Amino acid sequence: MAGSDRADPQIGAVGIATLTSRRSVSATVERLMAILAERGLKTFVVIDHSGAAREAGIAMPDTKVVVFGSPVAGSPLMLAAPSLALDLPLRILVAAGDDGVTRVSYTDGDYLASRHRLDGSLAGPLRALAGVVEALVAD
């Protein structure tokens, strides 16, 4: 079942939210890219950490990071809080746990706003990330 996964050790990491997906990592990434396109968001890159590890001779569960965003939404945020450029464009981690469960993790929008001292009224685009992930893990 999709939902919070308290067994994941990253759950305790400050500002990180994690949900589970019933799909494989590859299928979850494909679905994420479709959702991003439907919402008019640009996918900049998909980083295949496990593929790079495999090329280096290191075994790693399937792990990918999707980097995406919108210059229309992100640029005004970076103008208001230039340090936010350290966390933009946004990223979603899709990774298989040692137990085979696919986990979807992202940095919470309210945490990002607080971290960069962004006025709360401007944080809407950051908070929208939760909706993307919820749509992603929905059946």
Give tens-digit pLDDT for 26-74.
Answer: 999 999 999 999 999 999 999 999 999 999 999 999 999 999 999 999 9
What domain range includes position 37?
Answer: 9-137
Mean pLDDT of 90-117: 95
Whether 89 is covered by a domain: the verdict is yes
Alpha helices in the chain (DSSP H): 25-38, 49-55, 71-80, 109-115, 124-137
What pLDDT was estimated at residue 93?
A: 97
Whether 2 is covered by a domain: the verdict is no
Whether 1 is covered by a domain: the verdict is no
Write the CATH number for 50.
3.30.310.70
Mean pLDDT of 100-117: 95
CA count, 13 A, side-chain hemisphere, 12:
3
Whether 4 is covered by a domain: the verdict is no
Whether 3 is covered by a domain: the verdict is no
Whether 39 is covered by a domain: the verdict is yes
* Element holding 45 (H helix, E strand): strand 42-48
What pLDDT was estimated at residue 14?
A: 85
Mean pLDDT of 91-105: 95
Whether 93 is covered by a domain: the verdict is yes
Query: How many structural domains comprise the chain?
Result: 1
Whether 97 is covered by a domain: the verdict is yes
Beta pairing partners, 85 = none
| pTM (2 d.p.) | 0.89
Whole-angstrom distance, CA of residue 98 vs CA of residue 35: 27
